[in-house]
Chains A and B, each alone.
Chain A
Amino acid sequence: MWKIIMSMAVGLFLSTSALALDGNQLLVQIDRNLNPESFESYRKIVNTEPDGRKKEYTYYTVKKGKDKIAGLFLAPASEKGRTTLRLGENMWLYIPNVGKPVRITSLQSVVGGVFNNSDILALDYAEEYTVEKAEEAGNEYLLHLKAKTKAVAYDKLNMWVDKSKKIPTKIECMTEASMLIKTIYFKDIKDFGGGLIRPAVIETDSPLYKGYKSVMIFAKIKKRDFKDEIFTLTFMPKMESIR
């Protein structure tokens, strides 16, 4: 009898470990289904106010490897030429009028609205989070993610993942005390070419910004390799040259 109980306990432990491991592997797969590891993309960020008024930004992004990502605002005219750079947890903003890069933090927002800097300059989920628990929820998986360090913008994520496509459909972003900061919705699956089929629209709303909505619409995502020197402060004013 004792042996049976021990076997069941060991079996339960092993299956839990295997599930946790699967969760982390699934997260890596989700990252690759959303973006190649190194790529360039064009997206529009639209902030909508409760009265329906909108403000739009066109943003060019380049990413290399696990922790290098940079962006350039192409529109509107008031933001044109602004560039952002993220190297791991370091983030900078370059404003042409100011003329030099200044350090910014992940919780700030260079565009206002519901998206903050860590949403806009997002690294791979597997780079910042570990899967604490993975469970099945009908046609979806529900992954419970925990930030690897205190420097990550959201301490916890609840991620719902389409089982067949292995791409997220919804993410809840929460504080350490499980307070909901925002919800992100992935919509409009589109073929971007090169085998990349992923959501073209990411919407977000937040209980902290009642009635406001922010949307990212992707027009192009293309695998492309870049030199490391592009992801430096000195290169920030020259981002336009690599388009």
Chain B
Amino acid sequence: MPDSGFLMPDSKESMTGKRILFIVFSFIVFSISSVSARAGEYDFDPAETEKKPYSLGGYLEFRPVLNGLDRGAAFNKLKFYKRDESNPLPEYNFGLQLEGSYEKGISKLFARFNTNLVNSYLGWSDSSSLYEGYLSLKPSSSLDIYTGKKTLKWGKGYAWNPVAFFDRPKNPDDPELNLEGFVVVGADYIRSFEGPLKTFSVTPVILPAYQDINDDFGTKDRINFGGKIYLLYYDTDIDFLFLSGGSKSPRYGLDFSRNLGTNLEIHGELAWIQGNKKTVVDSSGSSRVMEEDVGVFLLGLRYLSERETTVIAEYYHNGGGYTKQEMKDYYSLIDSGYTQYLQTGNDALLQRASNLTAYAKPSLMRDYLYLRISQKEPFNILYFTPALTGIVNLQDKSFSISPEVVYTGFTNWELRLKGTYLSGDRWSEYGEKPYDYRIELRVRYYF
């Protein structure tokens, strides 16, 4: 569910966003025409490989979406109770990601900037943020010290990462999307060896959480410490990880990944969270915070068949997730609030439900299965990849299923058409989402 705070009505900022996107779009159209003129040559000029101290790149994205509303679903009532929108409901997203770097001697500056412009039933809105921006010092190939905003991306899982202690949670519907990082001070120290232990590396991390820095990481006015030790031992990637400091409950983790053959990889993650806090609400709207030690784990595999079909399967257990009853209580609160609103015009209960953001996160319950099957270049159509992705909530048996096709045959272009169908009983996670289906086209141009 989108965060309503993310959206803003037409403003000077959104006009600026539109202008920036227009200028970049014009630049890209010009670039494409000049690239086309050069295409089709086999020559390889060594000058093409010369290194420059700076780099600039990114992508421009257009993503129209059609949402098929489920009028009876709890989240539909919560989102649209004051509105009567058309069904299906269109939405147009424009995105720009810019990234640049500058390197001199042992130092490197890197920045990744993301801006989005949305035209939805709420009108035009925009948002911009610095996803990453850090300075890195590398006195040797064994040591890298960095400070600034960075995504660390810990873990081996594809759809979920229980051990990504310093990252924002992934959306399993689109796990490869870039995420905004946190401001950290960290280092990587690497050693290589001969023998069964081939690589050892250690990554200490410090993350301050204050009013003006990392204020959404957790409890403020804390300095958090964490780290990761990585081993390549007997051809197996192994990480030991931890986070402490007070902004979040202390947590410890382990992950691994290993190839069992030329076409089969297995991976897993395990996190132990001490004193995990969970806000639960009853159907009258009274909430309380529960605290308990929980285990979160993931087991997965990646398999490539002789016909180049790739299968990614993952099982995810979140010991701190909501139970069926807890979710039913929350949906009952929305239903009560909606009835109250219809009868009296008072939306206090609905506002209360809306403010409980923990209930709007993806994969908020306990047991999930993820399955993605993709076929590389069927019928010898190069750069064409159809895929089918399913996410099943094993507790309430609700699920989402997403067929998609991706084409990358035009240099620097990526076209993706994706549909998602959600299904589930009343009081189930996917049954109570605001949409029944969603069709999305994503056109990206990289430059």
Contact = CB atoms under 8 A, between A and B. Distances in A.
B382 A44 contact: no
B99 to A, nearest CB: 8
B188 interface: yes
Which of B59, B144, B259 has the most C-beta atoms of chain A within 10 angstroms of its own C-beta? B259
Interface stretch (B281-289, B335-343, B406-414): B406-414
Contact of B49 (A58, A98, A100, A232): A58
Interface in B162-217: 176-179, 188, 190-193, 198-199, 201, 203
Interface in B243-265: 257-259, 261-265
Chain B interface residue number, banded: 35 or more
A97 B176 contact: yes
Nearest to A113: B382
Given A105-B304, A108-B304, A229 B176 contact: no
Interface string B148-159: 000101111010
Nearest to A57: B411
A158 to B, nearest CB: 21
Given A78-B414, A232-B192, A233-B237, A55 B409 contact: yes
A210 interface: yes
A100 B153 contact: yes
B203 to A, nearest CB: 7
A97 B155 CA distance: 15
Interface string B355-376: 0000000000000000000001
Given A78-B408, A100-B155, A212-B382, A105 B142 contact: no
Given A49-B382, A105-B265, A212-B382, A56 B176 contact: no
A238 B262 contact: no
Given A89-B259, A232-B190, A234-B201, A103 B103 contact: no
A3 interface: no
A46 interface: yes
A153 B308 CA distance: 14
A229 B190 contact: yes
Which of A112, A150, A211 has the most C-beta atoms of chain B within 10 angstroms of its own C-beta? A112
A54 B412 contact: no
Contacts of A241: 103, 108, 138
Contacts of A122: none
12 contacts: A49-B409, A55-B382, A97-B176, A103-B237, A107-B263, A107-B304, A108-B310, A219-B44, A227-B140, A227-B142, A232-B192, A241-B138
Pairs of residues from A and B, 10 with the lowest C-beta to C-beta distance, nearest first: A228-B192, A99-B153, A78-B446, A77-B446, A100-B153, A42-B49, A234-B201, A229-B190, A103-B265, A44-B44
Given A105-B259, A232-B201, A234-B190, 18 more contacts: A54-B40, A55-B382, A78-B412, A78-B414, A89-B259, A90-B232, A97-B177, A100-B154, A102-B158, A112-B382, A227-B141, A227-B192, A228-B193, A232-B199, A233-B232, A235-B141, A238-B144, A243-B51
